[in-house]
Chains A and B, each alone.
Chain A
Amino acid sequence: GENVEQHPSTLSVQEGDSAVIKCTYSDSASNYFPWYKQELGKRPQLIIDIRSNVGEKKDQRIAVTLNKTAKHFSLHITETQPEDSAVYFCAASIGTNAGKSTFGDGTTLTVKP
């Protein structure tokens, strides 16, 4: 089955700096890669996703890059703000309606004011 590894497990940055979280996956059939933000005790919220036919996607301060050959994808957050502090999860799935997602272990991001 699919295996997703996520690094780093914790990340602390100063407000205004950039943050990068990286994930690798094992199943070359995976073609949908979402990123979720989860605040304590709350549900994961999709913040950005990318499909395998695209190499990069950007939404304001958030961007995701995908390297299919190397089987890795990354989340980039620029101009970080304290409200960006949360746990971030990457996931990989085969993008059908029945396709289950495999999640990374999560990265706890702390943005210091």
Chain B
Amino acid sequence: GAVVSQHPSWVICKSGTSVKIECRSLDFQATTMFWYRQFPKQSLMLMATSNEGSKATYEQGVEKDKFLINHASLTLSTLTVTSAHPEDSSFYICSARDGGGPYEQYFGPGTRLTVT
């Protein structure tokens, strides 16, 4: 149980285009999902907290108009990187908390984004 999937696992896009990443909780309902960004050999940096049915809460320094987050259902949150640039290339990981469970958060497998 407690499986989180992410799609796609990797994507290459051209500068100026937009990319959507999906995060799904497969066997539980996630009222809260988190989006992280991880650069090589660095820690996970929280970008935003996504709550089902409401606006996401962005961390300081994260552009909400560039990283659009939608949490339309209890099992799906999406991150759209708009007008991507090479500096947006990174490993994006989502995590989800089971609304009826303990404090543990379950991580997705991550999405490797490369912007050329």
B44 within 8 A of A: yes
A61 within 8 A of B: no
B43 CB contact (under 8 Å) in A45, A98, A103 = A103
A46-105 residues with Cβ-Cβ distance < 8 A to B are 46, 49, 51, 89, 93, 95-105
Could you say which residues of chain B place their CB within 8 Å of the CB of A44? 44, 93, 107
- The secondary structure that dominates the B interface is strand
A100 CB contact (under 8 Å) in B46, B98, B104 = B46
B108 CB contact (under 8 Å) in A43, A98, A101 = A43
| Interface residues in B, total, Cβ within 8 A | 24
Residue pair B43, A93 in contact (C-beta under 8 Å): no
Residue pair A104, B43 in contact (C-beta under 8 Å): yes
Residue pair A106, B103 in contact (C-beta under 8 Å): no
CA distance A89 to B44 in the complex (A): 9
Could you say which residues of chain B place their CB within 8 Å of the CB of A104? 43
| Interface residues in A, total, Cβ within 8 A | 26
Q: For residue A4, which residue of chain B has the nearest CB?
A: B43
CA distance A96 to B102 in the complex (A): 8
Could you say which residues of chain A place their CB within 8 Å of the CB of B43? 89, 103-106
In the complex, 12 of the A-B residue pairs with CB atoms within 8 angstroms, ordered by the A residue number, are: A32-B103, A34-B103, A42-B110, A43-B108, A89-B43, A97-B97, A98-B97, A100-B49, A101-B46, A102-B46, A103-B44, A103-B46
Residues of A within 8 A of B (CB): 32, 34, 36, 41-46, 49, 51, 89, 93, 95-106, 108
Residues of B within 8 A of A (CB): 31-32, 34, 41-46, 49, 51, 91, 93, 97-99, 103-105, 107-110, 112
